[in-house]
Structure 1
Amino acid sequence: MPTGIGLQSLVTIKVEPGLFEWLAWYQDSMPIWFSPAQFHAMGYNIDLSYTPLITTLELHDKSETCEQFYMRNFFITEKIIKATQTIGGNILMVGHAATLDTCTRQLVGHAPRDVKELHRIIHRVPYCSVAVAEEYAEENEGEKKWHLVEPPFPPFTNSSNARFDWKILLI
């Protein structure tokens, strides 16, 4: 299967269902997902040995609160960071609009947003937007912390949504 940027064989993909959207948005039914093996059969470089931190079977609590949604995504983010510390490098996590905030909000030291604030944020995020979190060492404290920095490129979008300003995640 051809790819637009030719990285298909260079990037190993670990499918993590725990990064799925807010379960409260799926009151009627949950989607039927392709399995990692099915993606692999389609030609994607899927790590078939990866064990998800949260499986699709565990994503069933449709009464999940907004705070629990943030906690779930932050849990996944922390686990992925810890699992890759020894090898270093960059981590690319792909999700939907809310994921930009739910994966980074607590990482940079802020409390989860309430429902109203979450909706305000996601309505301002166009398709294919990027959030970049960078770890840095505090000069006086010697402790490492995370902060959001400007993404290296603008969103890839052709929708009528206003241009994405990554700084809304700082509010």
Structure 2
Amino acid sequence: MSEPGRLQDHPNWKYLLQEFDTLYRNGSSGGSPAIRSHRKRVRDRLSSSMRSNPEVLETPCTRLPVTAHLARALDLGERGAMQGMARSLREVSAQLEWQYGYEKLPKALVKKYAFCEILGPRGPVMAENLIIGFVLFAPATTYPQHSHAEIEESYISVAGSWSENNAA
């Protein structure tokens, strides 16, 4: 578990957020105008959050069935373009609170999906206007399209491949 404090007191969380910042600043800005706009909002909100030295909360380590795939995903990520992100994620992996995020989870996703919030209203790094985290999918998972109106949400792929429509 992580001890409470501020981001500057938790280098592993800080390094992980710096990896997100680097990705959103230097990664591809391709895609539709909606995707480019989303990326800019994430960059701006992440920078603002990091500058504010947000509170870091103690979080319980929670495992769900799909987390059996986490070590392999990190191994693959450490061999590719996302190696810095994968290594930083591995450093905090024992402190991740994996969740489903649904009141009623579709039965097909019980063993194939989970997410963990890194920065957001449910911590461990606190922010009110942005959620940054990771989604873990088992191989060959189909995830339903959805959106959120009240908060900017962004997840990235450390390993594997996936597709998304052009509407962000």
TM norm structure 2: 0.26
Greater relative CO, 1 or 2 (CA 8 Å, sep 6+): 2
Compare the two structures and name the one with the higher strand fraction.
2
Give the TM-score, by structure 1 length. 0.26
Bigger helix fraction:
2
